[in-house]
Amino acid sequence: MSTAFIALGSNLGDRNANLLAALQALQDRPSIVVKQTSSFYETEPVGGPPGQGLYLNAAALVETRLSPGRLLQALLEVEAQLGRQRQERFGPRTIDLDLLLFDNQVIDEENLTVPHPRMQERLFVLEPLAEIAPKAVHPILGLTVRELLRQAQPPFEWQGRELKNLRAVVTGSSSGIGKAIALELARAGADVLVHCGKSVSAGEEVAGAARALGVRSQLIQADLRDREQCRQLVKEAWREWPRIDIWVNNAGADTLTGETAELPFDFKLRELLAVDVTATMLLSRLAGAMMKEQGQGVVLNMGWDQADIGMAGDSGQLFAASKAAVMAFSKSLALTLAPEVRVNCLAPGWIRTAWGEKASQTWQDRVLRETPLQRWGTPEDVARTARWLVSPAAAFITGQIIRINGGAVR
Ligand code: A4P
Ligand code: MG
């Protein structure tokens, strides 16, 4: 006995009756047993001529003694029996039966391709299939149906420009999470000042990408290890624009992949204290005071989800100490700057930035083991949370630490 998955689709006539009739016709054949069927999903037509109606799609698991070729033959016969006329490609049809998977076979013949060559791109196939066989594995791609579905889903996008007419500064925004935040705020309509330490050309590119999103954007360079340059950064920002509404302290010393990664513990500690702690405190206080004066504003800082529970090793000690300092500081500053200015802190967990990309298999396994949502976070996950937290939608939220970690620390 072999196991096969069939996709069913109809967008002509009584679609519900067509799907039921097709399933019955398959069941009626002595060599096929329909073991399981998904719910019926109403879907927008993909491809094909304009103006055609919505589809009803489903998936079925069948067991059969037929060869893949014979099973396809049976599917074509059922289509014909239900009155399908073959006309234009992807055009409207009373019934379409496609063979998706056949055991774990890979077939590439003139009249039969298995797995179905377009199944991994199509939500109208993957959604019903994931309902009945989330763990079935695509024999070529090596991914489960659930993973294929996740990949095929378009990334979430906020609608609208809720930050229009607001002006933001994002420190350390030439790459990684800072870049994602700067671009997400630009997508929401905010003008953004991009800040970088050394990476001027990368920073210019981010500012250019922000301008391409229809907002004003410029690059400011400052070495945040230097207190005087921190003061200058705030001055310059307010000189550039008459008011700043959003200040995101994202910049942090890179002690994992940069030059500092090679230095001893106490050098890394000095860098982290200078950039992550001291600069964040100075910049938040200076920008916060300006915003209080203006009568409104938002400060957003960057913590770390594991600061609360600790992590073994040098990096664990370094990040826990420096990021816990930022988190504690942010809560106190929120009290100082209320009610005009909101101050919050994001606490990202395992986010796939430069380090995560190259991390060893041991780390990759550990991240998945520790994360209930079963994946690395992305810079965009953090950026979308930042976008919400600095927006008027979060007007009653201050002094909070928001973890973005797929549930890894609760
Ligand atoms: N063929 C080869 N491999 C297979 C296979 N694994 N399963 C050959 C089924 N058939 C396979 O198919 C053309 C020929 O492909 C078959 O005779 C068989 O020898 P067809 O059913 O005559 O033509 P078609 O349906 O226009 O092409 P195809 O490739 O089945 O189209 P798709 O990819 O199924 O797309 N939008 C929504 N929302 N829902 C839908 O169900 N369906 C389509 C059709 C387009 N847009 C849709 C939907
Ligand atoms: Mg077909």
pLDDT tens digit at each of 410 positions of the chain: 999 999 999 999 999 999 999 999 999 999 999 999 999 999 999 988 888 899 999 999 999 999 999 999 999 999 999 987 666 666 677 899 999 999 999 999 999 999 999 999 999 999 999 999 999 999 999 999 999 999 998 888 888 999 999 999 999 999 999 999 999 999 999 999 999 999 999 999 999 999 999 999 999 999 999 999 999 999 999 999 999 999 999 999 988 887 888 899 999 999 999 999 999 999 999 999 999 999 999 999 999 999 999 999 999 999 999 999 999 999 999 999 999 999 999 999 999 988 888 888 998 899 999 999 989 999 999 999 999 999 999 999 999 999 999 999 99
* For ligand 1, atom 4: residue with the closest CA: 112
The ligand minimizing its distance to the Cα of 117 is 1
Q: Which atom of ligand 1 is nearest to the CA of 8?
A: 41
pLDDT for the residue 260: 80
CB atoms within 10 A of CB 66: 17
Q: Cis before residue 134, ω within 30 degrees of 0?
A: no
Q: Is the CB of 9 under 6 A from ligand 1?
A: yes
What is the spatial distance between Cα 374 and Cα 338, in angstroms, rounded to a whole number?
38
Q: Which of 86, 87, 96 to mutate to test the pocket of ligand 1 (most atoms within 8 A of CB)?
A: 96
DSSP, residue by residue, 145-201: HHHHHHHHSPPP---S-TTTT-EEEETT-SSHHHHHHHHHHHHTT-EEEEEESS-HH
Catalytic, 314? Answer no
Q: Is the CB of 111 under 6 A from ligand 1?
A: yes
Catalytic, 96? Answer yes
- Catalytic annotation, pick one of 98, 191, 245, 381: 98
Q: Is the CB of 86 under 6 A from ligand 1?
A: yes
Tokens encoding 168: 């933001």
The strand ranges marked E within 16-75 are 32-37, 41-43, 55-64
* For ligand 1, atom 12: residue with the closest CA: 98
pLDDT for the residue 158: 84
Q: Which atom of ligand 1 is nearest to the CA of 7?
A: 41
Helices (H) and strands (E) in the chain, counts: 13, 14
pLDDT for the residue 90: 64
What is the spatial distance between Cα 182 and Cα 386, in angstroms, rounded to a whole number?
10
pLDDT for the residue 91: 67
Q: Is the CB of 45 under 6 A from ligand 1?
A: yes
Catalytic, 84? Answer yes
- Catalytic annotation, pick one of 70, 89, 96, 410: 96
What is the spatial distance between Cα 319 and Cα 304, in angstroms, rounded to a whole number?
7
The ligand minimizing its distance to the Cα of 91 is 1
